[in-house]
Structure 1
């Protein structure tokens, strides 16, 4: 008599086949992330550059031997084996190549800043919507499990209360070579400068803290630092909400490395000092003070702030690509629809950035934030 039939093992999911459109330095980090994913998540099928030799060198240097080199962006988009495109090109090239990728039915993981203005981003999002493809930007820290833990803290009304003030500072000391040659200081490549680069993270961190409630008004700080071409190297702004919440941020290519965010509630304070890139890949921490008072007679604090530590097996950029791939697989294999929260979050970040840029251009006049 035969025994019970062995259980049927589910077939592993087919990995999402990525094409990397451009060989920028940040693409090396994302390539490494793709290689770290568990089987069945994603693979790099192709790399496209303006020359095939450059694509071949990138493939060899990043350990992607199975990837096919393409000597033009058009050739990569025409590769029928590519399902999703990671696009790290300069911001000025995002509209033509992102819309072309979407029109070919390629899911789109787009490097930030995603566009030079909201109107350009809307063209990209409309192309994605028309083709039914998933869109996500590459704000990697959103996918770190620390971020979810911080959300639990600030959402606790008893321990944290209502958020009233936020401050964010993102910057690094750029080298002289960077300040003369990097695409982020070139008006024809990345005209938003520091505002589009690390300023994007500051704005996103503020919006994240308030669950993406748009401010009513922004006022840029006076005297932003610009290079001779007019590209912003350091700037800041204050954001205002109708209920009295305020947020300030500064971003700079001219300071020591800083990725600080502090969120102040009526009962609690959360502080993180390495938001965008944790001090260590698989270990991230933040501190929280709740219901703080002075020890009488004003000689200390009670209770003391607590440190929270969050660990992860995969770094945040790998978790980002894993989540994007999961969404693509849901569309491809289960008839799902693109997840709409990611383009919505991107657009809110962009419209606040637009308002800050408009205030800078108007000499720090108040600018209302478009919906």
Structure 2
């Protein structure tokens, strides 16, 4: 079967360093086209994919009849617009997270997906990584007993970059919108839980939320548990998610979100008697696995592992937190 021919909308740094190489390397995929008005920005892509077709506009790429699917790495506030345009142009679309800034906007994409028959998905790559699948397997198998609490943290410091799109309210900036999808989405993926209530305290800097302390009571398939998420764009680097039960603990703490970039991917199972089982995944590339999962869904008709309905649940939880958040100062 012929490979899925991919086009990339925009020469974003993240696309150049991670997703475009992953598409190029993925089984059943072909990196075929890039849309950018600046030829200089295309050079980094051409370095590893010399045969790449260049288009001077996003619309020109969407009009290319040889392209099957597009990857959208544009700033947050443009995700809905170009996801809908891609579907309308007859393309499958994989859009960076968050795919929308409000849950109700995802409803538009779901409706367009269903009407068109094309696949639309958010690039929530971590669910394709074996460390997260292992964490879910351990939890589902009852290895830690009754789940009682989950806490997640993701932080970095970009205070020296005021022009960064993450530090701008007009481009959908903020720590929750940038990295809250990881802390909330990973918890929901592993536990299958939804919030009963949500509360948050936030810190604003120049109109952008740069710190969010979110607390919730969650209801999952096996009962209720408490949850806490901390995200920040003003703290030292930290990544960690802990699932704590009454008999043990699962910790994804080396590189839960930037696997094998931040550190080597590994997940720990802490059992009674201070016994710890550690599974390490030094070669897994979740970007490549994501592209391959997308392609399998197109070829076989199998359900995509992370559908927009799941993504909507994460965004709805984030919306509830931001809508009711209390501003604080530290």
**Could you state the TM-score of these two structures normalised by the residue count of structure 2?**
0.91
Alpha-carbon separation, structure 2, partners of 1:329 and 1:267: 42
Residue in structure 1 matched with residue 247 of structure 2 by the alignment: 267
Residue in structure 1 matched with residue 169 of structure 2 by the alignment: 187
Residue in structure 2 matched with residue 216 of structure 1 by the alignment: 196
Alpha-carbon separation, structure 2, partners of 1:113 and 1:119: 13
Cα deviation digits, residues 136-159 of structure 1 (max 9, x gap): 2112221111111111211122x3
Q: CA deviation at 1:58?
A: 4.5
Q: Is the 8 A contact 1:103 1:128 kept in 2?
A: no
Q: Is the 8 A contact 2:150 2:241 kept in 1?
A: yes
Residue aligned with 2:322, SS? helix
Residue in structure 2 matched with residue 299 of structure 1 by the alignment: none
Residue aligned with 1:121, SS? helix
Note closer, same or farther for the CA distance 1:244–1:151 as it changes in structure 2 (3 Å cut).
Answer: closer
What is the correspondence of 1:271-286 to structure 2 with a 5 Å cutoff? 271-273=251-253, 274-279=255-260, 283-286=264-267
**Of residues 18, 36, 47 in structure 1, which corresponds to 2:34?**
47
Residue in structure 2 matched with residue 87 of structure 1 by the alignment: 72
Alpha-carbon separation, structure 2, partners of 1:174 and 1:307: 35
Q: Is the 8 A contact 1:262 1:271 kept in 2?
A: yes
Residue in structure 1 matched with residue 133 of structure 2 by the alignment: 148
Note closer, same or farther for the CA distance 1:139–1:165 as it changes in structure 2 (3 Å cut).
Answer: same
Residue in structure 1 matched with residue 204 of structure 2 by the alignment: 226
Q: Is the 8 A contact 2:260 2:282 kept in 1?
A: no
What is the correspondence of 1:47-196 to structure 2 with a 5 Å cutoff? 47-49=34-36, 51=37, 53-54=39-40, 56-61=42-47, 63-157=48-142, 159-176=143-160, 178=161, 180-191=162-173, 193-196=174-177
Residue aligned with 1:241, SS? strand
Q: Is the 8 A contact 1:218 1:238 kept in 2?
A: yes
Cα deviation digits, residues 124-174 of structure 1 (max 9, x gap): 2211111111122112221111111111211122x3222111000001122
Residue in structure 2 matched with residue 369 of structure 1 by the alignment: none
Cα deviation digits, residues 43-85 of structure 1 (max 9, x gap): 1111112x15256434324x22222111111101101111001
Unaligned 5+ segments in structure 1 are: 1-12, 293-302, 331-335, 365-371
Q: CA deviation at 1:244?
A: 3.9
Cα deviation digits, residues 105-124 of structure 1 (max 9, x gap): 21111100111101111112
Residue in structure 2 matched with residue 32 of structure 1 by the alignment: 21
Alpha-carbon separation, structure 2, partners of 1:72 and 1:256: 38
Q: Is the 8 A contact 2:135 2:190 kept in 1?
A: no
| Greater radius of gyration (CA) | 1
Q: Is the 8 A contact 1:133 1:338 kept in 2?
A: no
Note closer, same or farther for the CA distance 1:281–1:18 as it changes in structure 2 (3 Å cut).
Answer: farther
Unaligned 5+ segments in structure 2 are: none
User: Are residues 1:323 and 2:293 paired?
Assistant: yes
Residue in structure 2 matched with residue 368 of structure 1 by the alignment: none
Note closer, same or farther for the CA distance 1:338–1:154 as it changes in structure 2 (3 Å cut).
Answer: closer
Residue aligned with 2:194, SS? coil
Note closer, same or farther for the CA distance 1:54–1:122 as it changes in structure 2 (3 Å cut).
Answer: farther
Alpha-carbon separation, structure 2, partners of 1:96 and 1:65: 30
Note closer, same or farther for the CA distance 1:305–1:136 as it changes in structure 2 (3 Å cut).
Answer: farther
Greater share of strand: 2
User: Are residues 1:345 and 2:310 paired?
Assistant: yes
Alpha-carbon separation, structure 2, partners of 1:272 and 1:161: 17
Aligned CA-pair RMSD: 2.1
Deviating above 4 A after TM superposition, structure 1's stretches of 4 or more consecutive aligned residues are: 279-283
Alpha-carbon separation, structure 2, partners of 1:254 and 1:247: 22
User: Are residues 1:202 and 2:199 paired?
Assistant: no
